[in-house]
Amino acid sequence: MQEYDDLSDSITDFLASKMRIDSVVRGLTMTKVTGTLNSPIERTILDIKYYFNNTPYTPIFNMDKDLHVVQYGVFRKVEHKPKYWLHLVLFLATVVSTMFVGTFNAGGNPITNPADILLGLPFSLSLMAILTCHELGHYFVSRRAGMITTLPYFIPAPIHFIGTFGALIRMKSIVPDRKTLLQVGMAGPLAGFVVAVPVTIVGIMLSEISRTPVDVEYLHLGDSLLFNFFVNCIHPNIPEGYDLFLHPVALAGWIGFLITSMNLIPIGQLDGGHISYSIFLRLRRYSYYPIIGGLIALGFLWPGWFVWAGLAFFFARRDPVIQDAVTPISTRDKLLAIIPLLILILAFIPIPISLG
């Protein structure tokens, strides 16, 4: 215990050479030092990080109004032992589950005729390409930043017309700074969107115009601005009483737009939430209630948004942990953040599903 007290005193002495200290609060797990860092701040933060490399502690840099806060404590050591077999099994299982539902989407039945399973291949490959690129976008950018990140975990679900609950990666280490959080948050949606666009265009070209069923209820998929633009460009003159019936590849592109836009809603631990936090930090909390109110309003158009509003209410308060939340992001990075906002606007589907 005396050894740690001596080390703590030594750390305080060091920090006193790097900042004007106003207060030091020692807790059970963390020590909080408040004051003003020496200029240039970026250089000072690097010096403090380097110093802590020779201690058992990890420093976290935040702001408290106009004051700088340096907190340090012992974080659990992260052990990264990839289970490649698990990632591969889940990936292959999701390929099979999306092929299974894709077969029904293509008019086949793999239960009564197992050979029909091949009809689900175009849908499965298209959707898996979008999901895989989305997650690998997160993965490669976070790994480039030195973070410990898992490969994607795919979630098979052969119980609905999508065939999967998506995929996720786990970031096991602290995000280094605001710029990294912005880049990691943007990388996934951008990568998935870049794939979803050509998939959607090819799929719409393969889709057929047919007479709308009379006196028969059928699922009608809503349009985003971008999807509707592609439809009007490729099939500009759809006669009255007819509709565009999507090819499975087009359906995969439509799902890609839906997933991307939902992920970009700027709240909680969604990609959009990470992007907004990287720019506004704790100020983003002022956007919570307008966003939740907007989702509730949309719920009167499509009940699924009520669920999203509930999830947003309970999980919106969780903020990402950033090691350096003090160093500002550049104007260039702020301008780049407009790109995912535009994608959200273009790909958002107010009424994803209705009965025609």
**Residue 79 covered by a domain:** no
Question: CA 145, CA 81: separation in Å to the nearest integer?
Answer: 19
Q: What is the pTM of this model?
A: 0.91
* Whether 261 and 148 share a structural domain: yes
Asked if residue 115 and residue 21 are part of one domain, the reply reads no
The residue out of 43, 73, 103 marking a domain boundary is 73
Which pLDDT tens digit goes with each residue over 288-303?
A: 889 999 999 999 999 9
Residue 325 domain-assigned (yes or no): yes
- Burial environment of residue 239 by CB neighbours within 10 A (0 to 12, 13 to 18, 19 or more): exposed
**Residue 319 falls inside a structural domain:** yes
Tell me which residue of 144, 203, 148 sits closest to 170, measured CA to CA. 148
The reply to whether 330 falls in a domain is: yes
- Residues 123, 35 share a domain: no
pLDDT of residue 6 exceeding 60, the answer is no
Q: Is residue 318 part of a domain?
A: yes
Q: Taking residues 122-150, what's their average pLDDT? A: 95
The count of domains in the chain is: 2
Among 189, 176, 222, which residue's Cα sits nearest to residue 354? 222
Reply yes or no: is the peptide bond before residue 266 cis, omega within 30 of 0: no
| Chain CA centroid to CA 81, Å | 23
The residues facing 25 across adjacent strands are 32
Over 60: is that where the pLDDT of 215 sits? yes
- Asked whether residue 320 is assigned to any structural domain, the reply reads yes
Give yes or no: residues 238 and 298 share one domain: yes
Q: Which whole number is the average pLDDT over 72-79?
A: 80
Q: How far apart are CA 154 and CA 167, in angstroms?
A: 4
Closest CA to 223 of 204, 241, 199: 204
Pair (318, 195) in one structural domain: yes
Q: What is the pLDDT of residue 356?
A: 63
Q: Which neighbouring-strand residues pair with 34? A: 23, 69
Residues 99 and 38 in one domain: no
146-150, 154-158, 229-233 — which one is most confidently predicted on average? 229-233
Helix and strand element counts for the chain (H, E):
12, 12
Is residue 176 scored above 60 in pLDDT? yes
Which of these three, 33, 54, 73, is where a domain ends? 73
Within a domain: residue 78?
no
pLDDT score at 7:
67
Same domain (yes/no): 47, 191: no
CB-CB contact of 122 with 182 (8 Å): no
Are residues 140 and 202 both part of a single domain? yes
Give me the chain's average pLDDT, please. 90
Domain containing residue 16: CATH number: 3.30.70
* Rounded-to-integer distance, Cα 198 and Cα 126, Å: 10
Q: Is residue 201 part of a domain?
A: yes
Residues 58 and 30 reside in one and the same domain: yes
Q: Domain ends where: 73, 102, 129?
A: 73
Residues 49 and 105 in one domain: no
Is 36:19 a contact under the CB 8 Å cutoff? yes
Output DSSP code: residue 213: P
Mean pLDDT value across residues 196-208: 96
For residues 30 and 9, the model is more confident at 30
Domain carrying residue 303? 84-355
Write down the pLDDT at residue 78.
Answer: 73
CB 256 within 8 A of CB 133: no
pLDDT above 80 (res 228) = yes
Report which residue type is found at 306.
Answer: F
Q: What is the structure's pLDDT at 2? A: 46
Same domain as 89, residue 38: no
Co-location of 231 and 146 in the same domain: yes
String of DSSP letters for 27-95: -SSEEEEEEEEPSSHHHHHHHHHHHHTTSS-EEEEEEETTEEEEEEEPPPPP-----HHHHHHHHHHHH
Q: Where are the alpha helices (DSSP H) in 106-177?
A: 121-144
Residues 291-334 have pLDDT tens digits of 999 999 999 999 999 998 888 877 766 788 899 999 999 999 99
| pLDDT recorded at residue 204 | 96
